[in-house]
């Protein structure tokens, strides 16, 4: 992870006055309407908001799944709002790991194969893919489940496979969309522990949720959205500052 260290903390994702408008019949839906935020490397960020607040659109934009109608998005100082779909895919595959509420594992592939998929699109050597996948499954305590298909795994196990998959290309950012939404409290907590652990190891975590408790208890910073606009930003009390955490980082 070589990075141009600016004098200040590194900004990994920056949204500059981002708009995302949809044409819905005769109406224009302003899903995101002039949003600006800076996410620093190593932060645990939560994007909070009720349904319809624009948080899903916000996540799609941050995750480079979608491009804004207006404004710019910088990922690692690169303006990604101008890239074409395929280049966007390439960058997102390398720099962002996704965790979805409904796990989104590919049903016809085993756990290990699911973890290997993102590496395939980056052209990683097949032997390395296999090695890395095994290592990552070990990390999420699923070494013995590598050859199981998703429908043979519990919800919690599936989400852990998804976490392993998100880490496959060693991305800088993990984007988690309601990661505990489909899990009971206990397994949800296990998943959150994994996310915190990853955060402690230096990964930037961006979590989208509609549960204020979840957001406030885990995230360093919570961005509250309403009607496509930033309503407020709250920081975790007693939380270690971002700088403090940086010092503790164990680089992988």
The residues binding other proteins (CB under 8 A) are 60, 63, 65-66, 85-86, 89-90, 92-94, 98, 100, 104-109, 113, 117-118, 120-123, 126, 165, 168-169
Task: Report in angstroms how near the CB of residue 116 gets to other proteins at its nearest.
Answer: 9
* Residue placing its CB nearer to other proteins in the complex, 108 or 238: 108
Q: CA angle, 77 as apex, 75 and 80 as ends, to 5°?
A: 45
Q: Which is nearer to other proteins, 83 or 222 (CB)?
A: 83
CB of 138 to other proteins, least distance (A): 20
The Cα–Cα gap between 111 and 162 comes to 9
**CA distance linking residue 162 with residue 182, whole number of Å:** 13
Question: CB 113 → other proteins: shortest distance, Å?
Answer: 7
Indicate the residue among 49 and 93 with the shorter CB distance to other proteins. Answer: 93
Which residue, 28 or 106, has its beta carbon nearer to other proteins? Answer: 106
- C-alpha to C-alpha distance for 59 and 177, rounded to whole angstroms: 8
- From CA 60, how far away is CA 177, in angstroms rounded? 10
- Extract the tokens encoding 208: 């989208």
Between the CA atoms of 143, 144, 147 and 150, what dihedral angle is there, to the nearest 10 degrees?
-90
- Give CA 102 to chain center in angstroms: 14
Identity of the residue, 116 or 219, whose beta carbon is nearer to other proteins in the bound complex: 116
Q: Which is nearer to other proteins, 72 or 124 (CB)?
A: 124
The two three-digit tokens of residue 65, written as one number: 């799944």
Q: How far is the CB of 170 from other proteins (least distance, A)?
A: 13
Give the containing element (helix H, strand E) for 131.
Answer: helix 126-139
Query: 16 pairs with which residues across the strands?
Result: 72
Considering the complex, what minimum distance in angstroms separates the CB of residue 102 from other proteins? 9
CB of residue 218 to other proteins, shortest distance in Å = 23
């Amino acid at each position: 992870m070589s990075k141009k260290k600016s004098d200040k903390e590194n900004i990994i994702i920056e949204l500059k006055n981002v708009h995302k408008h949809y044409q819905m019949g005769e109406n224009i839906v302003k899903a995101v309407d002039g949003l600006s935020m800076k996410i620093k490397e190593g932060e645990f960020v939560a994007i909070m908001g009720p349904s319809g607040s624009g948080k899903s659109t916000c996540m799609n934009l941050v995750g480079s799944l979608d491009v804004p109608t207006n404004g710019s998005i910088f990922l690692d100082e690169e303006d990604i709002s101008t890239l074409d779909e395929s280049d966007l895919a390439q960058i997102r595959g390398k720099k962002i790991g996704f965790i979805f509420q409904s796990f989104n594992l590919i049903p016809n592939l085993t756990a290990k194969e699911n973890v290997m998929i993102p590496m395939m699109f980056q052209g990683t050597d097949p032997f390395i893919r296999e090695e890395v996948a095994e290592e990552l499954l070990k990390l999420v305590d699923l070494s013995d489940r590598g050859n199981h298909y998703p429908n043979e795994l519990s919800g919690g196990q599936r989400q852990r496979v998804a976490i392993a998959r998100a880490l496959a290309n060693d991305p800088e950012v993990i984007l988690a969309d309601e990661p505990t939404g489909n899990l009971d409290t206990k397994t949800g907590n296990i998943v959150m522990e994994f996310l915190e652990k990853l955060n402690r190891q230096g990964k930037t975590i961006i979590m989208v949720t509609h549960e204020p408790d979840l957001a406030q208890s885990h995230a360093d910073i919570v961005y509250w959205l309403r009607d496509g606009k930033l309503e407020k930003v709250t920081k975790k009390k007693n939380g270690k500052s971002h700088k403090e955490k940086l010092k503790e980082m164990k680089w992988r």
